Amino acid sequence: MAQNLNISEGAVFDGEPYISINPNNANHIVVGWMGFENFTEQIQINYRVSLNGGISWSATATLPHVQAGYTAADPSIAFGEDGTVFIAAIDFTGRDSNPIAGGVYLYVSQDGGTTFNAPIEVLNLDVAPDKLLIDRPWIAVDRSGTGTHGNIYITSVTGEGATAPYHPYISVSSDGGSTFQLQELDGTGWLAGSSIPIPMPTPHVNTAGKFYAIYPSYVPSQFVLPQYVLASSTNGGATFEYSRVFASTTTGSTSSLPKTGYLCRTNPANAAHIIFVYLTNAHEDLDIAMRESLDGGATWSNEQRINDDPIANDRMQDLLWADFDTDGDLVISWRDRRNGTNETYETASEIWAAFRPNGATAFEPNFQITDQTVAYDDVLANAGNDFMSIQLQDDTIHTVWGDVRANTLNIWYQRSQTDGTTLGIETIASTALPEVIVFPNPSETEFTLHGDAIIAYTIYNASGKELKTEKDLPEIDTLTIDMSAFSTGTYFIEIKSPTSTTTKKVLKK
């Protein structure tokens, strides 16, 4: 098995990775995560960009804090139709301050993720200080071409220590992210209630422009059992309809350690097809489970177990994620302990996945993504490693996750085929890249590259589309590129040497 790659390379702690791929360009990928600059600084949001499908990556860059001394958390990433990159994240004083200040913010990049605009406030804690309503922001962008095309939805939830009753929240922008309107996502008869402290909503928008989110609820006067509720909107979040996904007492865990997130996704090839992936203990151990609806959420299938290790084998699974390809293929991933030594959370693990082609009713055999079994470390019991992330694009699976094989929690990356066969990856660009100078920049006609042993270059536009490439150069130090035929605008030149890859932004006048 090919070697996984450490994409974060942090010396302290990296967590909560999120990967997103440009829907119009499968080669354009952005990965973000929580990390530290050093031991004395607060957490920041770091990110890297690939313009060649994950083969090589830019140097690590960092989103700015809203205020000095703030700490960041929980990035999620989405693309707009034109290649615009959106990152939603928390930036605040931290839970130990009094009072707690800050909120959820949106960062926008018009140049493919090379630079981001100043953060835009999505919601502020001062709206309801006792609710701590900024926890776990997820972003979804409407790319349907309907009347709600371009809407940006950012969900959040009451955080640890909030006063009851608890609520999921939604912030909606219909102006490209310039302004947002905040409201509670649950409604009369479908309230999240006072028994589930963090009723996280998981959102998605289908290809017809219909917004969906699923959140947990337990209010006995509404329904006798705990349930998952589907909220949907066809008018951009102005009003919502509610229905039950399922109700049960068999989901959950007796341990507080497993990462018990869940996920809602819609099928790009079938707007009426929704999946809900979650953990279940129906067979004693925690397993990865899925239910799906083929009629827009009106009815749901029975529970399907996804991990194919022996049932009730005293091995728990957690840390799930899932994604559809544009043609309806589906992949689900998770942290797997089938090769661990005991039944607890605190045992060795790997990242595994399952693939189901569009139209099939059963998943193909599970396959391993990580190239080794990773021993347990106590850092995995802490917050900050609650989710992994996976994307399926053009039958290539792109996976990011956190593990501790490097003696600290780092973010790792792998690209593979849908049967688990790993695909080649060049050495990911380090934060300390060899210097390549581009001059003049801006220029009306020619750009000259000056570096060490240049062997290839590729030019991309601001949306990540490949425009020109030249390979097998004889390790030259100076190269002039004629761009006189290119339109005025922003471009990127990916430059390769025998040992590294770097990307430079250029402006064509």
412-421 confidence digits (pLDDT tens) = 999 999 999 9
Q: Is residue 318 within 8 Å of 260, Cβ to Cβ? A: yes
Name every residue whose Cβ is closer than 8 Å to that of residue 408 and which is 6 or more positions away in sequence.
Answer: 10, 11, 12, 13, 14, 379
Domain boundaries, the chain: 437-508
Amino acid identity, position 459: I
CA distance 110 to 461: 11
Lowest mean pLDDT segment, chosen from 147-151, 281-285, 305-309: 281-285
CATH no. of 437-508: 2.60.40.1930
Give strand pairing partners of 86. Answer: 78, 108
Q: What is the pLDDT of residue 40?
A: 57
More confident residue, 126 or 81: 126
Three-state DSSP state, 217? strand
Residue with tokens 């799906």: 292
Provide the H-helix boundaries in 76-145.
none
Q: Per residue in 426-438, pLDDT tens?
A: 544 344 444 688 8
Max mean pLDDT among 181-195, 470-484, 488-502 falls in 181-195
Write out pLDDT tens, residues 62-97. 999 999 999 999 999 999 988 899 999 999 999 888
**Spatial CB neighbours of 259, under 8 Å, sequence gap ≥ 6:** 318, 319, 335, 385, 386, 387
pLDDT at 336 exceeding the cut of 80: yes
Q: Rounded to the nearest 5 degrees, what angle is found at the Cα of 461, between the Cα atoms of 57 and 484? A: 125
Distance between CA atoms of residues 128 and 457, nearest Å = 52
- DSSP 3-state assignment of 126? helix
Residue 45's alpha-carbon distances to 88, 146, 195, 350, in angstroms, are: 10, 33, 32, 25
Instruction: Give the residue carrying structure tokens 């090839």.
Output: 269
Which tokens sit at 55? 């083969």
Q: How long is the chain?
A: 509
**pTM of this structure:** 0.88
